[in-house]
Amino acid sequence: MSVADLVQKKNILITGGAGFIGSHLCDVLVKEGNVICLDNFISSDISNIQHLLQLPNFEFIKHDIIEPVDLEALPGLKKFKIPFHGIHEIYHLACPTSHYEKHEHQVATILTSGLGTKNILDLAVKYRSRLLFTSSSAVYGWPSDKEGKVYKEGDLGVVDHLGERSCYDEGKRYSETLLKIYRDQHDIDARTMRLFQTYGPRMSLADNRMIPRLINKAVTGEKMVVYAQPDDQTSICYISDIIEAIDRMMKSNLVGPINIGNPSPVRLSEIAEKIKKESGTRSEISYEEESPYTHHRGVPDINLAKSKLGWFPVIPLDEGLKMTIDDMRGSRVIGFEDIKI
């Protein structure tokens, strides 16, 4: 690829680009433009983007967005001519999601949502970039209905600002507020989507969320513990459906917030049994008291996504789980030879 080819492509910044969702987004966007991937590896791994590092229009920068970043001063980005062409699109995904329960990452989690989001919004102001921020269903708080509440974008959530999850939940709420204020005051082209639970290949084996944790236990023959009751319900959406939604929203004029997730509730016992069956394990499934970090109740109302983006999830649960289990089995940490059944 020539320098002229690089200059003709749009410049795209992805924060959290080496993470689970971010790396899949990099795979898609590197076909459309020059991708600048920022990540500090708190909850991600270089292996997620290893296959992209040799591409001339992909550049990885190890950086913590809590600190401002001067893109024009970075030698590796000179080829993208940022002082002349700017940054056309910013996808702000960065925020630890699986490790915030570990106390050493709680400060980093909330500061990423605060200072980190401010620093990225400042870049959007500087370059007049289109910006998409991935918020979370966590902003809706904790429902009392164990059968699963249906969340609409206009619902006002109740979050315990001093709770065990507050660094993440309140952080996302703050980010949404900050983005709206920047949009109003600086007239930036910024949009917010609220992601519900997502799963798929490249979820970390160290991720303590339900699906990767259960798969990890299943393929190693250990007890599969679900921290909830069997009939509790949740919403889970496969990664390729999420990436499609992100792509459609960035290309739209919709500012949001908009719910993105699977509107069909599924019992936690069904998820656990499907993982057990697909992995071929004899692991025992048990149900224990909920962890204060658990957030699995409720499903999204996606009528807005359907009507404005023409989007809805298409990957069936069985198919998505199979691809996820196959990926985790093929990882460097757990291979077929390690499976105990």
> Tens digit of pLDDT for each residue in 226-238?
988 888 889 999 9
Both tokens assigned to 302: 């996606």
Could you tell me where the DSSP H helices lie in the chain? Answer: 3-8, 20-29, 82-85, 106-111, 117-127, 166-186, 210-219, 239-250, 268-279, 303-304, 317-329
127, 151, 168, 227: the catalytic one is 168
Q: Is the pLDDT of residue 121 over 50?
A: yes
Q: Does residue 209 lie in a domain region?
A: no
Q: Residue 246's pLDDT is what?
A: 98
Closest CA to 72 of 81, 60, 63: 81
Q: Which residue(s) pair with 266 in the sheet? A: 234
Q: Assess whether pLDDT exceeds 70 at residue 120.
A: yes
Domain count, the chain: 1
Q: Is 333 among the domain residues?
A: no
- pLDDT band (50, 70, 90) for residue 334: very low
Which tens digits make up the pLDDT trace of 292-326? 556 556 899 999 999 999 999 999 999 999 999 99
User: Is the pLDDT reported for residue 7 higher than 50?
Assistant: yes
Inside any domain, residue 329: no
**38 beta partners:** 15, 61
Q: How many CA atoms lie within 13 A of 294 on its CB side?
A: 22
168 is catalytic: yes
The answer to whether position 302 is within a domain reads: yes
Mean pLDDT of the 129-136 span: 97
- Is the peptide bond prior to 257 cis by the omega test (within 30 degrees of 0)? yes
Residues 88, 97 contacting (CB under 8 angstroms): no
Q: What is the reported pLDDT for 143?
A: 63
250 in Cβ contact with 296 (< 8 Å) = no
Q: How far is CA 67 from the centre of its chain?
A: 21
Q: 298: exposed, middle or buried (C-beta count within 10 Å: 0-12, 13-18, 19+)?
A: buried
In a domain, 180, yes or no: yes
Query: Can you tell me which residue has the tokens 């949001």?
Result: 256
Model confidence at 338, in pLDDT bands (50, 70, 90)? very low
- Token pair, residue 300, equals 């999204």
User: CA 90, CA 16: separation in Å to the nearest integer?
Assistant: 11
The residues with which 217 forms a beta bridge, in sequence order, are none
299 φ/ψ sector (left φ>0, alpha ψ -120 to 50, else beta): beta
The mean pLDDT of 99-114, rounded to a whole number, is: 78
Residue 134 sits in a domain of what CATH number? 3.40.50.720
Per-residue pLDDT of 148-160, as tens digits, reads 689 999 988 788 8
277: left (phi over 0), alpha (psi -120 to 50) or beta: alpha
pLDDT over 60 (residue 336): no
Within-domain flag for 40: yes
pLDDT tens digits, 19-69: 999 999 999 999 999 999 999 998 888 999 999 999 999 999 999 999 999
- At residue 98 the predicted structure's pLDDT band, cuts being 50, 70 and 90, is low
Cα separation, 136 vs 168, in Å, equals 9
Comparing 176 with 160, the larger pLDDT belongs to 176
213, part of any domain: no
Residue 338 lies in a domain: no
Cα separation, 250 vs 261, in Å, equals 16
* Strands annotated E in 106-178: 130-136, 150-151
Q: Hey, CA dihedral for 53, 244, 130, 167, is it positive or negative? A: negative
Structural domain of 243:
3-201+235-264+295-315
pLDDT, residue 1, reads 58
